[in-house]
Chains A and B, each alone.
Chain A
Amino acid sequence: MSLIDSASLPRSFRLPRVEGLIQWIVPLAIIAVWQVASVTGFVPTRVLPAPSDVVLAGWKLLLSGELVRNIWVSFWRASIGFLIGGGIGFAFGLANGLSQLSARLTDTTLQMVRNVPHLALIPLVILWFGIDESAKLFLVALGVFFPIYLNTLHGIRTVDPQLIEMGRIYGMTDGELFRRVILPGALPSIFVGIRFALGIMWLTLIVAETIAASSGLGYMAMQAREFMLIDVVVLSILIYALLGKLADSASRVLERLTLSWHPAFQKR
């Protein structure tokens, strides 16, 4: 057994590196095709600037400091909004998963609010908060609340009751039962919620920034549209894609660290 284990080790070490390259083949190929199409005039630059022009625009904005400032502002709004909304969603998920009383008291209300598209609140939010930071934070927090709430609740409710009975038999206190059985059991579902929430986080933020903001990536793209700077518009869109990928990778790393026991995360 140990012989087989040690023999298969080098292979499992080599695999991720190859996989890490494979996933970038398609994006790079698209950029290459795009560049060729632009240079040969197949795609007019008025419709879509060449990747090289986008990189150039990015370089100029980087030098002026505008790019870094806008990315930072958007990143800050996204994370703070995510922490607030996610934190409250997680807390409600725990409370309603663990306590029948709490679930009866709040679940119906939350389900009603959930069915209102949160972006439909933008006019109301602008009336309440103006185009202040709090408006964006409110919308992001509201957007990420529900996926995290629902998946935390679901995760806790579907923890194997046989394991809970086992924990009780072996004399676990409520705190221990939560820490050793319920929370780890709910974690895979909570991570599904986090990854959903990350997608909603970017979507909400970009929409909010394009409609009501005076800084941030969404604002930068809208400004560029006003002045017909199509290369900056495309640059903003590419940065969204990269940031989205970054957030997803971060949650994957977290998943792999905390769910290393899970069969789905072992063979890598």
Chain B
Amino acid sequence: MQTALRTSLPETELASRAHFAPHARVVREERPAQASGLPLSIRGLRKSFGDNEVLRGIDLHIPAGQFVAIVGKSGCGKSTLLRLIAGLEKVDAGSISFGSEVQPEDIRVMFQEPRLLPWARVLANVEVGLGRDRSSSDAHARAEKALTEVGLADKRDQWPSVLSGGQKQRVALGRALISRPRVLAFDEPLGALDALTRISMQRLLERVWRDQGFTAILVTHDVAEAVALADRVLVIEDGRIAHDVTVNAGRPRQRGSAELAGLEGSILGHLLSADDHT
């Protein structure tokens, strides 16, 4: 950091260096588990709560292994869409289909709250993610592996109450990853974290997604986060997909690059212009 400051490198290079050093594993180019992601097709999806029609016909295809971010103003229906995909709400009309037959373990959700069991130690919390395999003999070993993946192997015997917010969210990520899901839905998982923890969590998400190749669906209100992580950003307005933006920047992404900043600006423009009309 000291040397970087003195040599006054351009902003982007600084960011990319800081990125590479602690996460050398990211450099791996091949995606070994690419086949593990599931494609997702949504047709004519509608959902209302009482008189309030939240989703008014969503048509969407997500190829296997794509990282999709869903942005929109609060109350636009983005979280409802995610909960429908995850099977937490019943579909009113339309359909959601995954390329093949899915097991419950294939689809996992990460919420804004870590939702850890306070009375179970970190390792036992990760084991919860095994679903029906919880009682199998290799449960401990698999949980330890998942904890190592999120960099918390040394916290295995701690109670969740002693962990920081970011650490709790990493345990929740480990719990979601342990069953090797093929679709991982994120409902603003980083919303409650401070700015620095957020950035390191974003890198962690990008790394595990590249390692495991699941289809990732991220709901966020942070457009910068959306363009930093996703292959594709969907803007939802009034229960419909208003814009479908492809992010072509190479990976690992360089935070603060002009390309991403431009994209972020134009998406924000969409969101705010809709605001002006109403």
Which residues of A come within 8 Å of B, CB atoms? 2, 162-163, 165-167, 169-172, 176, 180-181, 184-185, 187, 259-263, 266
- Enumerate chain B residues within 8 angstroms of A263, measured Cβ to Cβ: 161
B residues in contact with A165, CB < 8 Å: 88, 115
Contacts of A172 in B (CB 8 A): 128
- A170 vs B111: C-alpha distance when bound (angstroms): 13
Q: Check A169 against B88 for contact (C-beta < 8 Å).
A: yes
Residues of B within 8 A of A266 (CB): 159, 161-162
Q: Closest Cβ of chain A: how far from B192's Cβ, in Å?
A: 13
A169 touches B161 (CB 8 A): no
Give the residues in chain B near A262, CB-CB below 8 Å.
Answer: 118-119, 161
Cβ-closest 8 pairs across A and B = A171-B131, A184-B119, A261-B119, A166-B115, A263-B161, A261-B159, A171-B104, A170-B128
How far is A263 from B86 in the complex, measured between Cα atoms in Å? Answer: 32
Are A184 and B117 CB-contacts (below 8 A) given A169-B88, A263-B161?
yes
Whether B113 and A261, one on each chain, are in contact in the complex, defined by CB atoms closer than 8 angstroms, is no
A261 touches B105 (CB 8 A): no
A181 cross-chain contacts in B, Cβ below 8 A: 117
Q: A169-B109, A266-B161 are in contact. Are A180 and B88 (CB under 8 A)?
A: no
Expressed in whole angstroms, the Cα–Cα distance for A184 and B116 within the complex equals 13
Q: How far in angstroms is the closest Cβ of chain A from B9?
A: 32
- Which one of B129, B132, B161 lies within 8 Å of A261 (CB-CB)? B161
Q: What B residues does A261 contact at CB under 8 A?
A: 118-121, 159-161
Q: CA A165 – CA B89 in complex, angstroms?
A: 11
A34 to B: closest C-beta gap in Å: 44
In the assembled complex, 17 residue pairs joining A and B whose CB atoms fall closer than 8 Å, in A order, are: A163-B115, A165-B88, A165-B115, A166-B111, A166-B115, A167-B128, A169-B86, A169-B109, A171-B105, A171-B131, A172-B128, A184-B119, A184-B120, A259-B119, A261-B120, A261-B159, A262-B119
Q: Besides the contacts A162-B113, A187-B119, A261-B120, what 8 more A-B pairs have beta carbons closer than 8 Å?
A: A166-B128, A169-B108, A169-B109, A171-B131, A180-B120, A261-B160, A262-B119, A266-B162
Q: Which of A2, A170, A184, A185 contacts B129 (CB 8 A)?
A: A170
Contacts of B160 in A (CB 8 A): 261
Residues in B with CB closer than 8 Å to A162 are 111, 113, 115
Chain B residue contacts of A169, Cβ below 8 A: 86, 88, 108-109
| Bound form: Cα–Cα A260–B158 in Å | 11
Task: Tell me how many residue pairs across A and B have CB atoms closer than 8 Å.
Answer: 51
Could you tell me the distance in whole angstroms from the C-beta of A179 to the nearest C-beta in chain B? 11
A181 to B115, CA, bound (A): 11
Contacts of B88 in A (CB 8 A): 165, 169
B231 → chain A closest CB, angstroms: 26
Q: Is B117 touching A180 in the complex (CB atoms < 8 A)?
A: yes
The answer for the CA separation of A259 and B161 in the assembled complex, in Å, is 12
Candidate in A165, A167, A181, A261 with the most chain B CB atoms within 10 angstroms: A261
CA distance A170 to B117 in the complex (A): 12
Bound Cα distance from A260 to B157, whole angstroms: 13
Contact A170-B131, Cβ < 8 Å, known A162-B111, A163-B115, A266-B161:
yes
Question: B123 CB to closest chain A CB, in angstroms?
Answer: 13
List, in ascending order, chain B residues with CB within 8 A of A166's CB: 111, 115, 128
Distance of A266 Cα from B117 Cα, bound (Å): 16
Tell me the complex Cα distance, A181–B111, Å.
18
CB-nearest residue of chain A relative to B178?
Answer: A170
CB distance from A189 to the nearest CB of B (A): 13
Closest to A187 in B: B119
Does B117 lie within 8 Å of A163, measured CB to CB?
yes
Q: CA–CA, A189 to B117, complex, Å?
A: 17
Chain B residue nearest to A181 in the complex (CB): B117
Residue of B at shortest CB range from A173?
B132
Q: How far is the CB of A158 from chain B (nearest CB, A)?
A: 14
Q: Which residues of chain B come closer than 8 Å to A176, judged between CB atoms?
A: 134
Min distance, Cβ A266 to any Cβ of chain B, angstroms:
7
Within 8 A of A (CB), among B46-87: 86
Bound-complex Cα distance A263 to B162 (A): 8
A261 to B104, CA, bound (A): 29
List, in ascending order, chain A residues with CB within 8 A of B132's CB: 171
What CA separation (Å) do A181 and B116 show in the bound complex? 10
Residues of B within 8 A of A184 (CB): 117, 119-120
Contacts of B131 in A (CB 8 A): 170-171
Q: Which residues of A contact B129 (CB under 8 A)?
A: 170
Measured between beta carbons, the chain B residues less than 8 angstroms from A259 are 119
A266 CA to B162 CA in the complex, in Å? 10
> Chain A residues with Cβ under 8 A from B86's Cβ?
169
Shortest distance between the CB of B111 and any CB in chain A (Å): 7
- What is the minimal beta-carbon distance from A85 to any residue of chain B, in angstroms? 27
